[in-house]
Structure 1
Amino acid sequence: MHPNLQTLTRFYAAFAALDADAMGSCYSLDATFDDPAFSLKAQHEIAGMWHMLCNAARGHGKQDWRLDVSNLHADDHTGHAHWEAHYVFSANKRPVHNIVEADFTFTPEGLIASHRDRFDFWRWSRQALGMGGWVLGWAPFFNKQVRVQTRAALDRFLAQNPRN
């Protein structure tokens, strides 16, 4: 198995187990992460995001969490995964099924240098946010507002949990 594919396999096994420490260890110190909700720089921020999200998922009980991963592949420079998360959104206890395409680049040492997750934000917002997501989830300003809110939540989490 290619070393970068081993990194992705380790990452998604940790994600399925909600092991944020193991997930964070897959990233280089200067890694970047981007998805419709977050835009992060540095392993510290990325690991903090995974800690925050894993804590929220564990808070509802592992019985409400499932991760399905497929189409994992990687070469010397890039990688890809398709993943689907089933969870309860912590803010309002609504069930969510998020479908994600993930693209990666790697360092020569086999760590994740960049990670970009793409998903249908409107589909996600309809599930997670209910009527507000249904009415506004398609609008770029709404997505931007969610990014502002998730950044503030992450900053609070990092301030309260300095080890992450």
Structure 2
Amino acid sequence: MNTNEKLIHIFYEAFKVKDFKTMGDCYHPDATFKDEAFELKGKEIPAMWRMLCGVGASTIVEYSGVEADESTGKAHWEAWYTFSQSGNKVHNIIDAKFTFKDGKILTHRDTFNFYRWSSQSLGLMGKLLGWTPFLKNKVKERAMGNLRKFISKHPEYQ
């Protein structure tokens, strides 16, 4: 197992136990993160993981398919949790791609089926509107608003 594969394993093992500090330490200071809800850089990334680990205390995470070389990597991961906004149970299936710099994650891109996720997390509204840019943009706005509020209460991420 090479250094970058080890880094991915460290990240997901920390995620499994909600160790947001170790997760954040896996990222390069110039890192970027993107998924269907967030588009982040720098200190926003560890802030997001801390926020999500806090609200998702009952989240179960499993990962597999870790592969990496000196510059890129990937993993498959799945999460089971209760969506706080609706109380609905969610099983999200995610593929992650990474690039690395100086032994840290430089870019992290998570992709998942937004329609499947919104149908589970938002119920009927997600089933009806989950395919629309309107709902995707509303989810992004709410997620980023929640993160901005969280960061405002935690100066270490400012």
Using structure 2 for the length normalisation, give the TM-score.
Answer: 0.96
Task: Provide the C-alpha distance between the structure 2 equivalents of 1:8 and 1:110, rounded to a whole number of angstroms.
Answer: 11
- Deviation (angstroms), 1:148: 1.1
Which amino acid in 1 is paired with 2:38? F
2:67 to 70, 73, 85: 73
Q: Any stretches of 5+ residues in structure 1 without a counterpart?
A: none
1:92 match: 86
How many residues are treated as equivalent by the alignment? 157
Structure 1 residue 114: Cα displacement: 0.1
Distance across 2 between alignment mates of 1:140 and 1:11:
31
What TM-score does the superposition give when structure 1 sets the normalisation length?
0.93
2:34 aligned residue: 34
Deviation >2 Å, runs of 4+: none
What is the root-mean-square deviation in Å for CA atoms of aligned residues? 0.9
Aligned to 1:57: 56
**Which position in structure 2 is the counterpart of 1:134?**
127
Cα deviations by residue, 1:22-67 (Å, 9 ceiling, x for unpaired): 100000001000000000011x100010011100111xxx3xx211
Corresponding letter in the other structure for 2:40: L
Give yes or no for the alignment of 1:159 onto 2:158.
no
Is it true that 1:45 corresponds to 2:38 in the alignment?
Answer: no
Q: Which amino acid is 2:83 matched to? A: F
Q: Distance in 2 between matches of 1:161 and 1:92?
A: 26
The percentage of counterpart residues that share the same residue type is 45
Structure 2: which 5+ runs fail to align? Answer: none
Which residue identity lines up with residue 29 of structure 1 in the other structure? P
